[in-house]
């Protein structure tokens, strides 16, 4: 075999190896795309489980500290007040574990489907003419509503009830910005500055989207979850929690959302 034949054979082998390598790299993204995304409900269940584990670890820590405090109290080195303070912290931690255990059980229950009454109410919504009075905010509502598949008018109605379109609003409970995101919710959706209108609207819209998915499109339950937390809705059997604030909140937003009128 001459040198030219050897060189030609080497070229063919290298070319074939290149096709194999390219094929492997091309297949990788396809396989990654086939991995199903976790549903909002499964994410909530996972979050609750992680939180339960944290609470259990906290109980172990407090139990050890309480044993030490009991010995110090017996030796007269700390007061009864200090001992009882530790006992209360331990009791509160155990109560949290019990509550989150109930929340996990509730999360495993399926959400009810749309009732005829809710369907009838939502059918009246239609296309609404609305404005917050700020073109930038209006455009962001429409943009993120379209991006995440949430009716922009629902975002508008929720924002109106939450903050009256005040970007710098802060509630006594610590909710922040136009969509009144609590710090934990903001962190959950990657909102680093809740007073930035774009970040806030994006985070609030994503939260509404997940709540709507979680409760099978039930706008009333999604709004209840937005106000009281999805855990509270699940705790009461996927119904609106019996809190006056939450029920009034849902009623007011639905009344506006399902009433055909122009918003000036």
Residues 172/176/178/179 CA torsion (nearest 10 deg): -90
Number of H helices, E strands in the chain: 11, 0
Residue at token pair 């006594």: 172
DSSP designation for 109: S
Q: Which helix (H) or strand (E) holds 91?
A: helix 80-107
The answer to whether the CB of 69 falls within 8 A of the CB of 82 is yes
Cα(8)–Cα(142) distance, integer angstroms = 61
Beta-bridge partners for 181: 176
Beta-bridge partners for 170: 176
Q: Which of 63, 117, 162, 230 is catalytic?
A: 162
Based on the residue annotation, tell me whether 117 is a catalytic residue of this protein.
no
Residues identified as active-site: 162
């Amino acid at each position: 075999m001459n040198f030219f034949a050897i060189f030609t054979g080497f070229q063919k082998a290298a070319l074939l190896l290149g096709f194999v390598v390219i094929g492997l790299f091309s297949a990788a993204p396809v396989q990654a795309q086939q991995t199903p995304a976790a549903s909002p409900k499964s994410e909530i269940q996972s979050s609750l489980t992680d939180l339960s584990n944290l609470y259990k670890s906290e109980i172990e820590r407090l139990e050890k500290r309480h044993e030490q405090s009991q010995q110090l109290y017996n030796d007269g080195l700390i007061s009864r007040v200090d001992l009882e303070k530790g006992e209360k912290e331990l009791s509160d931690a155990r109560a949290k574990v019990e509550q989150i255990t109930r929340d996990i059980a509730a999360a495993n229950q399926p959400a009810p489907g749309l009732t005829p009454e809710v369907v009838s109410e939502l059918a009246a919504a239609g296309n609404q003419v609305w404005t917050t009075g700020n073109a930038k905010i209006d455009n962001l509502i429409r943009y993120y509503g379209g991006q995440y598949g949430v009716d922009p008018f629902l975002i508008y109605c929720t924002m109106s009830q939450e903050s009256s379109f005040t970007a710098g609003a802060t509630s006594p409970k610590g909710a922040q910005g136009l969509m009144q995101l609590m710090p934990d919710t903001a962190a959950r959706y990657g909102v680093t500055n809740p007073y930035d209108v774009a970040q806030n609207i994006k985070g609030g819209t994503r939260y509404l989207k997940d709540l709507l998915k979680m409760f099978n499109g039930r706008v009333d339950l999604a709004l209840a979850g937005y106000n009281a937390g999805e855990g509270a809705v699940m705790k009461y059997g996927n119904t609106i929690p019996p809190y006056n604030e939450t029920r009034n909140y849902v009623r007011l937003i639905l009344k506006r959302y399902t009433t055909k009128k122009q918003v000036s």
